[in-house]
């Protein structure tokens, strides 16, 4: 039982990180019907921004590590950098292809993804780096037998993720920008006819999604402090699977899907074999697409004839 509780806690913690990345996939898919393959690498860049920035500010002596100010400072900076990166990717790689066949955009996305990965390997080096110690990990709770532990990292990860998701929900459902986003994702031609600057809305979508991915990168960095340029590949795929599982294009779905993914993975590792850990995501994906392609909360349109 205690083991189960521990896996559950780890699963939720992992799932909330997946959620931050899955949201980016689902937002872009909702608005462009594009699997943004580069999204996972934006997350990687987020982690590396955190790495360099965290080390830099501590060397300058602005803040001392570990501290809350260092953490939030780094988080904000990574989100800014990645937001800008997301904007640039959309502006220079995807926007020129707005009217091109879907396949071309998909190939471009794959190209951007590979480009970021391999440029990362050259610029950052292919070997893993140790993420700076931005926060101290404190054990907040430990059961008598010591089998169940809740660390402050788990709480930080959960709090930061939940807050960001709440803020995002506020933006999407309570602001004018959010309304424009929803309109664009419903039908971009009509949205444009209603005077919505579709291109700018799409840019915002990329900025927001990328910033969330960066937050995911920082949170992963503090919890699993080894980062490398290909770190985005697997986690990106899993987050994507989470988005599909929840029903792609649906925000709540992405969060639910991500939590399910995180839990499933922790339980497979905990009770089964860790070698099949990565195959699990694909297994889930294939089962979903074959039996309920719309995901848990999504719906599939009928092609007009």
Partner 1 sequence: MKQLIKANLIPVGIIILFGILTPVFESALDAYVQTIFIYCLINVVLSVSLNLVNGFTGQFSIGHAGFMAVGAYASAYVTMTYPSYLGGVMGAGGAEGILLQIQFFINVLLGGFVAAFAGWAVGLPSLKLKGDYLAIVTLGFGEIIRVILLNTEAVGGARGMYGIPKIANFFWVSSWAFICILVVWRLVRSTHGRGFLSVREDEIAAESVGINTTQFKTKAFVISSFFAGIAGGLFAHYLAYLNPSSFTFMKSFDVVVMVVLGGMGSITGSVISAVIITVLPEALRPLQELTQIDFRMVIYSLALVVLMLTRPQGLMGTKEISDYLKFFKKRGSSNV
Q: Which residues bind partner 1 (CB under 8 A)?
A: 34-35, 93, 96-97, 100-108, 110-115, 117-119, 121-122, 240, 244, 275-276, 278-279, 281-283, 285-286, 289-290, 293, 303, 305
Cα atoms found within 13 Å of the Cα of residue 104, Cβ hemisphere only: 9
Measured torsion, CA atoms of residues 238, 212, 44, 158, in degrees rounded to the nearest 10: -70
- Nearer to partner 1 among residue 1 and residue 305 (C-beta): 305
Least separation in angstroms between residue 45's CB and partner 1 is 15
Q: Compare residues 100 and 130 and give the one whose CB is closer to partner 1.
A: 100
Rounded distance, CA 169 to CA 163, Å? 10
Angle ∠(201,109,52) on CA atoms, nearest 5:
85
Shortest Å distance, C-beta 173 to partner 1:
27
At 295, give phi and psi (nearest 5°): 80, -175
User: Would you state the structure tokens that stand for residue 45, as one six-digit string?
Assistant: 């860049």
Q: How far is the CB of 118 from partner 1 (least distance, A)?
A: 4
CA triple 51-132-230, angle to 5 deg: 45
Closest to partner 1 by CB, 127 vs 303, is 303
Give the nearest distance from C-beta 139 to partner 1 in angstroms: 35
**66 and 135 Cβ atoms separated by less than 8 Å:** yes
**Complex with partner 1: residue 77 or 248, whichever CB lies closer:** 248
Least spacing, CB of residue 119 vs partner 1, in Å? 6
Nearer to partner 1, 31 or 77 (CB): 31
Residues near 13 by beta carbon (within 8 Å), at least 6 away in sequence: 153, 154, 157, 158, 223, 262
């Amino acid at each position: 039982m205690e083991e189960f509780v521990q896996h559950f806690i780890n699963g939720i913690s992992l799932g909330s990180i997946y959620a931050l990345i899955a949201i980016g996939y689902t937002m872009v898919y909702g608005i462009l019907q594009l699997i943004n393959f580069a999204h996972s690498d934006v997350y990687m860049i987020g982690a590396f921004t955190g790495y360099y920035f965290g080390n830099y500010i501590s060397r300058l002596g602005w803040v001392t590590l570990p501290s809350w100010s260092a953490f939030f400072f780094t988080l904000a900076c990574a989100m800014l950098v990645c937001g800008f990166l997301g904007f640039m990717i959309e502006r220079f790689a995807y926007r020129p292809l707005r009217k091109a066949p879907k396949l071309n955009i998909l190939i471009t996305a794959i190209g951007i993804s590979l480009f970021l990965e391999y440029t990362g390997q050259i610029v950052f080096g292919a070997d893993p780096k140790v993420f700076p110690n931005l926060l101290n990990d404190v054990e907040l709770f430990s059961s008598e037998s010591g089998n169940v532990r809740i660390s402050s990292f788990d709480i930080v990860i959960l709090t930061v993720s939940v807050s960001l998701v709440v803020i995002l929900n506020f933006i999407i459902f309570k602001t004018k920008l959010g309304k424009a986003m929803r309109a664009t994702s419903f039908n971009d031609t009509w949205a444009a006819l209603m005077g919505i600057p579709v291109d700018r809305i799409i840019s915002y979508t990329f900025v927001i999604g990328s910033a969330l991915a960066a937050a995911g990168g920082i949170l992963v960095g503090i919890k699993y402090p080894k980062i490398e340029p290909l770190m985005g590949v697997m986690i990106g795929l899993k987050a994507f699977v989470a988005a599909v599982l929840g029903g792609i294009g649906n925000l709540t779905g992405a969060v639910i899907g991500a939590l399910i993914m995180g839990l499933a993975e922790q339980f497979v590792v905990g009770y089964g074999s860790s070698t099949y850990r990565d195959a699990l995501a694909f297994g889930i994906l294939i089962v979903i697409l074959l039996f309920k392609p719309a995901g848990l909360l999504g719906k599939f349109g009928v092609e007009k004839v």
